[in-house]
Structure 1
Amino acid sequence: MPLRLFPSRRHRSTIASLTALVVTLALGACQTSDLALQAPVKSPPVLALAATGGSIPPVFGEVLERAPAAIVIDEATGATIYADDADGLRYPASLSKLMSLYLVFEQLQSGRLKLDDDLLVSPTAAAKPAVKLGLAPGSTIKVRDAIQAMAVKSTNDVASVVAENLAGSEEAFARAMTAKARALGMKHSYFVNPSGLPDPRQISTAHDMAILARALRLRFPAYVRLFSEGSFDYAGHHYVSTNKLLGKVPGVDGMKTGYIRASGFHLVVSASRGGRRVIVVVMGGKTGRARDERAALLVDQYL
């Protein structure tokens, strides 16, 4: 048989196939390595609605812009103590992050997510407008830093990072937010993004936010301490809490502020004195100071 200096057509085909297989396996290994950081947070059961593409019809009704609303509830019983248009539709602004954090806390509590897990920052998340940490596309942030940034400084880029890593997209995460709202009894809330950035479809009420705040406090005592932190440091920068009642009004130990132009100034407050705890929600303040003053007055009045 003559010696072949070059492989036959059949052999060339076999070699090409083997080469393609090796390249595919190598690329697959690289992709697996790249995705390993996100593996613990990909499509967990709590986001089953997002994974299956299910949806909940939005809430319809007149949304009043920059209009006052308030409620005070007893944390132990959930009973309403005071209400001022508490079921009137409003734009929740950054109070939306309370629900985003609720979903994260569920994952942490179940063990499907760890505080030291890394979350990948996409170009979309990095491009979100302020308030933000200024995360670079392709970088990562630890879950422990992400929840602190959202709870204390209300960062929009981090909210997007969390949503994309837990559900694949902001839209999918928002569907899970709305589903959880219904499960908690929040009848008038509908979410389309995790941060509360302006969108006319993103609505809630003072009453619904009080229900959410109570659920957070009762279900996640290990994590709600984040809302009481007055500041935190990250990547060489010092960030101060947006909640100006911390350390100034006796008994106040959380929770969250919110503002967009169409909503006015919002605040959810948890406070305790003499063994009794209330949750106060004030929405539609004309200024941050006016909002804070009304919230402080309601805390004093009902504690």
Structure 2
Amino acid sequence: MTIRSALLFVRRLVLAIALSLAALVPAWANPMLLVDRSNLQVLYAQEAGQPWHPASLTKLMTAYVVFEELSKGTVTLDTPVTISKNAFNQAPSKSGLKVDSSISLKDALYILVVKSANDIAVALAETVAGNETAFVAKMNDVAQRMGLSGTHFVNPHGLHNAAQVTTARDLAVLSLYIEQTFPQFMPMFGTGVVRLGNARLESNNGLLEGFAGTTGMKTGYVCASGLNIVATVDRGGRKLLAVVLGGSSGRERNERAAEMLSAALNGQYQSTGQNVLALSNATGVTPVDMRSRICGKEAEAYVKSQEALFPIGMAGQPSFLTDKIAMHEYTAVDLGRVRNNIALPRPRPAHTPTFSAPLASAALKGPVTTPVAAGGLNIPMPRPRPADL
């Protein structure tokens, strides 16, 4: 037997073992959804209404609520966001900022989206609403106004809670609302790196550096959810959105999203004739809990089975993430420790969010937010003192 044939034999043996393991581990049909953002048509859907734990995809709604408050003028991009002890005590991932450290709200949003920092999610909630409970109420209010019937939030960061649930369908609609209502903030979701002091905070969205045309948006992971992603791509005149939930690894999550997007760009997916808003969410169904398969005793067998079933992107295998793209970077500034509740000046935001025609004509419930025009305070300018005689 030659070395080459021996290697081939070993490779086939490993594959056979992996497939045997796969038979022992119940398979899940991972929720996946592909939408044409230009007309909201569904190009592919698999278990799109299945309840699932969102993990850090929760932060898409956290960001949206902050965007709404910016539009109302209750906060500005310069509002200081301070790391409280409560925020500091959150589990990773984290920003690395110390208790009482402060950054601007704009910088906080970048770190929230790119690094998916849980301490920043809590600090933003406390800044915007006074406390987490009040902020979560705003999150659920927005979900209700958007018609996200399969979604409920318990916290602003996505760390596991059995009652924190969403669906691929609802995540797609939320992402579409972000782009429609607040397009000026979309560059945040396409940023790959935030520099904070000597720290380099990187995104886990592999499409940003490996799939041409990727414009965002967000990844998420806890044991109960597996690895999740929402990705948006603009290429060849197409505007696409992909959602993948429950990946067994970052490789699988990213490659499955890229596979769907590539298929659509190559004309393999045609419209199903269904608008994403018309997709239904499953009712009375318990969210899938992936903990035993991702972090528990079944994890090794499950991951190997998924690698055997979907080896794309593994060593020696083809990949859909072959482009070389320089990631956009953003520099945040640690403002130091802010004490005695001395706030920085807070100018009103210079933008007024608008609603684009495609989603409005598709009967999205709204408007979800009511923009507040700037410059309406009518405060007179100070009058100079008379000159000394």
The answer as to whether partners of 2:95 and 2:117 remain within 8 angstroms in 1 is yes
Residue 161 (structure 2) pairs with residue 199 (structure 1): yes
8 A contact 1:65–1:264 mirrored in 2: no
Q: Deviations over 1:216-261 (max 9, x none)?
A: 1111111011111110111321111111110311211100000000
Matches within 5 A, 1:167-246: 167-246=129-208
Q: Which residue of 1 aligns with 2:75?
A: 113
Name the structure 1 match of 2:61: 99
SS at match of 2:110: helix
Q: Distance in 2 between matches of 1:82 and 1:279?
A: 11
Match of 2:253 in 1: 291
Q: Is the 8 Å Cα contact of residues 93 and 258 (structure 1) preserved in structure 2?
A: yes
Q: CA deviation at 1:201?
A: 0.4
**What SS does the corresponding residue of 1:89 show, helix, strand or coil?**
coil
1:68 is aligned to 30
More off after superposition, 133-142 vs 83-92: 133-142
**Structure 1: gaps of 5 or more residues:** 1-63
Could you say what secondary structure the match of 1:87 adopts?
A: coil
The whole-number CA distance in structure 1 between the counterparts of 2:246 and 2:159 is: 16
SS at match of 2:207: coil
Cα distance change of structure 1 residues 65 and 91 upon mapping to structure 2, 3 Å threshold: farther
What TM-score comes out, normalization by structure 1 length?
Answer: 0.76
Summarize the alignment of residues 21-32 of structure 1 with structure 2, pairs less than 5 Å apart: none
Match of 2:246, SS?
strand
Give the match's secondary structure for 1:71: strand
User: How far apart are residue 67 of structure 1 and its match?
Assistant: 5.8
Give the secondary-structure state (helix, strand or coil) at the position aligned to 2:126.
Answer: helix
**Contact 1:66–1:264 at 8 Å: present in 2 too?**
no
**Displacement after TM superposition at 1:66 (Å):** 7.3
- 1:35-63 Cα deviation digits (max 9, x unpaired): xxxxxxxxxxxxxxxxxxxxxxxxxxxxx
Q: State the alpha-carbon separation in 1 of the partners of residues 190 and 184 from structure 2.
A: 12
Alignment root-mean-square deviation, CA:
1.6
Specify the alignment match of 1:14 in structure 2.
none
Distance in structure 1 (CA, Å) of the matches to 2:215 and 2:262: 14
SS of the residue aligned with 1:100? helix
The alignment of Structure 1 onto Structure 2 pairs a total of residues equal to 240
Aligned-pair identity (%): 38
Once residues 157 and 194 of structure 1 are traced to their aligned partners in structure 2, the CA distance between those partners, rounded to angstroms, is 10
Alignment-derived partner of residue 266 in structure 1? 228
* C-alpha distance in 1 between matches for 2:29 and 2:202: 27
Q: Which runs of 5+ in 2 are unaligned?
A: 1-25, 266-389
Deviation at 1:199, TM superposition (A): 0.3
The answer on 1:154 being equivalent to 2:116 is yes
Aligned partners of 2:143 and 2:43: how far apart in 1? 22
Residue 279 in structure 1 maps to residue 241 in structure 2? yes
Question: Match for 1:145 among 107, 116, 121?
Answer: 107
Query: Is the contact made by 1:65 and 1:90 (CA closer than 8 Å) also made in structure 2?
Result: no
> CA separation of 1:187/1:239 partners in 2, compared to 1, >3 Å: closer, same or farther?
same
SS in 1 for 2:158: coil
Higher relative contact order (CA 8 A, sep 6+): 2
Separation of aligned partners in 2, 1:65 and 1:235: 44
Q: Which residue of 2 aligns with 1:18?
A: none
Match of 2:289 in 1: none
**Maintained 8 Å contact 1:66/1:285:** no
Secondary structure in 2 matching 1:178: helix
Q: Where does residue 310 of structure 2 map in the other structure? A: none
> How many angstroms apart in 1 are the aligned matches of 2:44 and 2:135?
33
Greater percentage in helix: 1
How far apart in 2 are the matches of 1:177 and 1:211? Answer: 14
Shift of 1:109: 2.9
Supply the AA of the counterpart residue of 1:283: L
Comparing 208-217 and 119-128, the one that deviates more:
119-128
- Residues in 2 aligned to 1:66 and 1:225: alpha-carbon distance in whole angstroms: 34
1:262 and 1:170, CA in 2 relative to 1: closer, same or farther beyond 3 A? same
Q: CA deviation at 1:65?
A: 11
In 2: Cα distance, 1:219 partner to 1:93 partner = 23
Alignment CA distance shift 1:145-1:107 (3 Å)? same
Following the alignment from structure 1 to structure 2, what is the Cα–Cα distance between the partners of residues 295 and 210?
13
Q: Which moved more, 1:129-138 or 1:223-232?
A: 129-138
| Residues 1:67 and 1:129: Cα distance change in structure 2 (over 3 Å) | farther
